[in-house]
Structure 1
Amino acid sequence: MLQPLTDTDGAPFWRYAAQGELRVQACAGCGEVRFPPRPCCPRCASFDDVWRRVDGHGRIWSYVVPHPPLLPDYAEQAPYNVVVVELADAPRVRLVGNVVAEAGARLDSVPPGRLRIGARVHVVFSPDGLPQWVLERP
């Protein structure tokens, strides 16, 4: 499986995820939430940031089911979903991931026909700290 590629700005996101926490970067000066993480606030140009914990609830904003899988490492789990989730308590933040039946489940554990734009989801974490999403109403 693919592992996240971390950089200095995004490393805290993955550290928190490995601890089972979903956090997003925010400006320590004006409070502007920024994702993906970056060194400077686009609103006030401050270089000071904080990592704000979010509750991990959201809605499917968009999704796709790759046929055939785009990456060979995922071929045995096709068809699988790739979703964009808009966070409920940070609506300008959208995260890419997969809807699964439970934390750590295979990517094909939820039939594509069960996904809908606007469906409510909440975050869970795979054993290796990857954020995944579970439907709130299975």
Structure 2
Amino acid sequence: METVNHKPFKPKTILWVCHLERARDFYDATFVALGGKPGEMDARGRLIYVHEGGRLMITTPIDGKPATAANGGTIGLVATTADHVHAWNTAGVAHGGMAIESPPAERPNGAFVAYLCDPDGNKLTARTLPIK
């Protein structure tokens, strides 16, 4: 029997924004708060964030129309600790985001969770993995 080694699937999410530099300020701060690195601009003018096996791309719409946030859509980011969740929430609010729902808190399943909207209205959550 032959064994084939496959590279693991790396999730990727793309968000459209209206103002790339405003988004860079917000996402650089929140990714650093999670223990990641600031984004890098690729040759096509997209901001690329890589953290914990995932990839987030931030760009302006390719159709030339204004970006709009998904109604009911939420982008989830994994945090290592509750302290990272608090730091993410604080950094996001300080860089143009808006805290939404309840304050950062532990949920019944043991996950520590916070929610923000970015400056363009995209809904985000940072959370530790559930322990229960």
Instruction: Please classify the TM superposition score into its range, dividing by the shorter chain length.
Output: under 0.3
- TM normalised by structure 2 equals 0.25
Q: Could you say which structure has the higher helix fraction?
A: 2
- TM normalised by structure 1 equals 0.25
